[in-house]
Amino acid sequence: MNWTVTIRPKARADLRRAHDWYEERCPGLGDEFLADHAEALLRLEADPERLPLYYRGFRRVFTHRFPYKIFFRIAGRDIIIFRILHGAQDHPRELRP
């Protein structure tokens, strides 16, 4: 099945913020973060339904190298990415459609 991936504005902001943080620490590390994220998206698109439900209809996929979680929902043939959050930080439950 072909999936359409939509990244919501908060998720784009999460991604941009993380990229900039890593890039400030070490030039090029932000790009490595984006590559890790892109690999996770490829795994997600390959078979999103295999990933278990996590919370109130949300599913998540983990990146390999960096400790991030990508939270998404499936709606028909659409994958909607809501947030991209660091796994070791406390985040309020802001997963709302």
Q: Assign 90 a pLDDT band (cuts: 50, 70, 90).
A: low
Q: Assign 80 a pLDDT band (cuts: 50, 70, 90).
A: very high
Would residue 91 count as lying in a domain? no
Chain-wide mean pLDDT for the chain?
89
How many domains does the chain contain in total? 1
Would residue 21 count as lying in a domain? yes
Q: Assign 77 a pLDDT band (cuts: 50, 70, 90).
A: very high
Would residue 51 count as lying in a domain? yes
Would residue 55 count as lying in a domain? yes
CA 66, CA 56: separation in Å to the nearest integer? 25
DSSP 52-63: PEEETTEEEEE-
The answer to whether 18 touches 11, Cβ cutoff 8 Å, is no
Please report which residue ranges of the chain form alpha helices under DSSP H: 9-25, 29-46
